[in-house]
């Protein structure tokens, strides 16, 4: 009976956790600055920790059962924290992480271990897990970096490329030793961004680009949650293998799945095939996912790229666009295309640069609204009247062209 009661309690807790997360996310999307959003999300997490976990762990559960029970709850908390970090809501993220640090008399070890799990290697306790071997390798590499950097600068400035001089031979020898040490770090626990990037550059300098690419791919496999791992591989492929469009695109698509609001994701439009339906759908999904985040929606670039993309693909994207819009039609109009948000922008500002940025943002938003809300939507009409009133001819012409294109397609 006690076991059945505990199962029911945990099932109810899961439902409660899911409801808290879904409602808080919906509220954050509709009204990201509303004061109740922060308190609601924090209250949800705090309630789960204080009431659910404490009640369950006070019973005499085995370690294996405890691990199984905690798994789903960790998922809710980690998802909430990740969402806040991606939206740059650092204060709320800090509040939720602080819940992990609350002292429970019965399970202080669990709270500490859970914090270690969520924070991974970005917390002060990570130093406790570092071995002397890591420090020794770091000291050794520092020596090689200094020696190699000095010799490389000396050789480069004197234009001694590919010569048989003593300086060049010493440079090659020291670089090879550094490469051997650096390669060994790729599978070692920890973040080795600087070391791996230097190693890849050394390999590329000595015309071993295949090994450099293999190293960066391996580092990405070992660090799938490290944004820099995607960035290094993307820029390396872009620089040395610009014709491998499909592979470059794949790296950007994988980054977009992990971190949709990374500005680098927008580069995928440069590698899109405007005639292939799957490419159109993937690019649109990445652009819309990026604009789901409030911090990204304030920038000109994503709206401008989305406008450009929609005008280029014409009718070929209608089906793809409808599928993506179906998921957002209940909250995007109020979130992005509210007429009330234009009142403040229409008022003259004391900061000309900020005012110009705001006008460009709303102009490209109005252009996007033409394709997803129709050419007769109120938001675009209001923005167009503002552009005319402020004599912004370039932006007015851009909206007029979008209106003409949309009417021709329909």
pLDDT tens sequence across 275-311: 888 889 999 999 999 999 988 988 999 999 999 998 8
Same domain, yes or no: 189 and 286: no
Q: What angle do CA 328, 329, 335 make, to 5 degrees?
A: 75
Dump the DSSP string for 142-153.
Answer: HHHHHHHHHHHH
**Structural domain includes residue 161:** yes
Residues 6+ apart with CB under 8 A from 87: 28, 32, 261, 293, 294, 295
Closest residue by Cα to residue 221 from 234, 210, 230, 212: 230
- Does residue 267 form part of some domain? no
What percent of the chain lies above the pLDDT cut of 90? 30
pLDDT of 363 reads 94
Residues 178 and 285 in one domain: no
CATH number, domain of 238, equals 1.25.40
Q: Are residues 298 and 402 located together in one domain of the fold?
A: yes
Which string of DSSP letters, residue by residue, matches 176-193?
HHHHHHHHTTTTSSS--H
Convert the pLDDT of each residue in 197-255 to its tens digit. 888 888 888 888 999 999 999 999 998 888 999 999 999 999 999 999 999 999 999 99
Bigger pLDDT: 125 vs 319: 319
Task: From 258, 223, 265, select the one nearest 122 (Cα to Cα).
Answer: 223
Backbone angles phi, psi at 103, to 5 degrees: -90, 120
Confidence check: pLDDT of 80 > 80: no
Structure confidence at residue 171 (pLDDT):
59
Do the domain assignments include residue 257? no
Q: Place 53 in a pLDDT band, splitting at 50, 70 and 90.
A: very low
What DSSP letter does each residue of 153-168 carry, written as one string?
HHHHHTT-TT---HHH
Q: Give the residue from 123, 144, 168 where a domain finishes.
A: 123
Residue 247 lies in a domain: no
Shortest CA distance to 233 belongs to which of 264, 260, 207? 264
In whole angstroms, what is the distance from residue 262 CA to residue 266 CA? 8
How far is it, in rounded angstroms, from Cα 384 to Cα 348?
16
Does 315 share its domain with 354?
yes
Number of domains in the chain: 3
- What is the pLDDT averaged over residues 358-382? 92
* Residue 159 pLDDT class (50, 70, 90 cuts): very low
Residues 23-28 have a mean pLDDT of 48
pLDDT score, position 70: 52
63 and 91 both lie in a single domain: yes
> Where do we find the tokens 């090994």?
211
- The reply to whether 287 and 401 lie within a common domain is yes
User: Which pLDDT does position 287 carry in this prediction?
Assistant: 95
Domain of 369, in residue numbers: 277-409
Closest listed residue to residue 388, CA positions, set 380, 378, 396: 396
Domain-embedded: residue 258: no
Is residue 255 included in any domain, yes or no?
A: no
Domain end, chosen from 123, 141, 169, is at 123
DSSP string, 387-403: HHHTT-HHHHHHHHHHH
Verify that 117 and 218 share a domain, yes or no: no
Q: Examine the domain organization and report whether 102 and 139 are in the same domain.
A: no
Neighbours of 253 (CB within 10 A): 16
Residue 68 has pLDDT above 70, yes or no: no
Q: Decide if 32 contacts 295 (C-beta within 8 A).
A: no
- Assess whether 74 and 185 both reside in one domain: no
Examine residue 87 and state whether it is found in any structural domain, yes or no: yes
Residue 249 lies in a domain: no
- Higher-confidence residue: 156 or 388? 388
| Residue 218 buriedness (CB in 10 A; 0-12 / 13-18 / 19+) | middle
Same domain, 97 and 177: no
Do residues 342 and 361 share a domain? yes
pLDDT at 318: 75
Boundary (domain end) residue, out of 106, 123, 140: 123
34 and 150 assigned to the same domain: no
């Amino acid at each position: 009976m006690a076991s059945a009661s505990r199962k029911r309690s945990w099932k109810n807790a899961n439902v409660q956790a899911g409801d808290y997360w879904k409602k808080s996310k919906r509220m954050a999307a509709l009204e990201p600055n509303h004061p109740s959003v922060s308190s609601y999300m924090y209250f949800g997490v705090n309630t789960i920790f204080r009431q659910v976990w404490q009640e369950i762990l006070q019973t005499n559960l085995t370690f294996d059962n405890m691990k199984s029970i905690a798994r789903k709850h960790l998922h809710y908390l980690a998802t909430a924290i990740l969402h806040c970090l991606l939206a740059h809501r650092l204060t709320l993220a800090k509040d939720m992480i602080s819940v992990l640090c609350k002292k429970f008399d019965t399970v202080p070890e669990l709270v500490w271990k859970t914090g270690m799990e969520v924070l991974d290697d970005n917390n002060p306790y990570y130093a406790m897990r570092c071995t002397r071997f890591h420090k020794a390798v770091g000291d050794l590499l520092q020596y090689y970096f200094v020696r190699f950097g000095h010799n490389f600068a000396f050789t480069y400035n004197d234009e001694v490329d590919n010569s048989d001089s003593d300086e060049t031979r010493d440079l090659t020898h020291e670089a090879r030793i550094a490469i051997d040490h650096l390669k060994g770090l790729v599978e070692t626990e920890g973040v080795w961004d600087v070391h791996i990037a230097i190693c890849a550059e050394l390999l590329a300098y000595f015309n071993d680009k295949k090994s450099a690419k293999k190293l960066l791919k391996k580092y990405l496999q070992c660090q799938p949650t490290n944004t820099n791992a995607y960035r290094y591989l993307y820029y390396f492929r872009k620089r040395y293998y610009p014709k491998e469009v499909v592979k470059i695109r794949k790296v950007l698509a994988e980054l977009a799945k992990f971190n949709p609001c990374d500005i680098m994701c927008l580069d995928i439009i440069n590698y899109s095939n405007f005639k292939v339906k799957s490419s159109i759908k993937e690019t649109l999904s990445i652009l819309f996912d990026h604009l789901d985040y409030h911090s990204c929606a304030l920038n000109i670039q994503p709206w401008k790229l989305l406008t450009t993309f929609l005008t280029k693909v014409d009718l070929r994207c209608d089906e793809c666009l409808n599928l993506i819009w179906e998921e957002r039609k209940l909250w995007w109009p109020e979130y992005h295309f509210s007429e009330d948000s234009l009142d403040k922008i229409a008022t003259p500002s004391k900061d000309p640069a900020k005012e110009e940025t705001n006008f460009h943002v709303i102009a490209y938003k109005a252009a996007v609204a033409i394709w997803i809300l129709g050419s007769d939507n109120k938001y675009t009409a209001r923005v167009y009247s503002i552009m005319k009133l402020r004599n912004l001819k370039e932006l007015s012409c851009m909206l007029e062209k979008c209106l003409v294109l949309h009417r021709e397609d329909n």
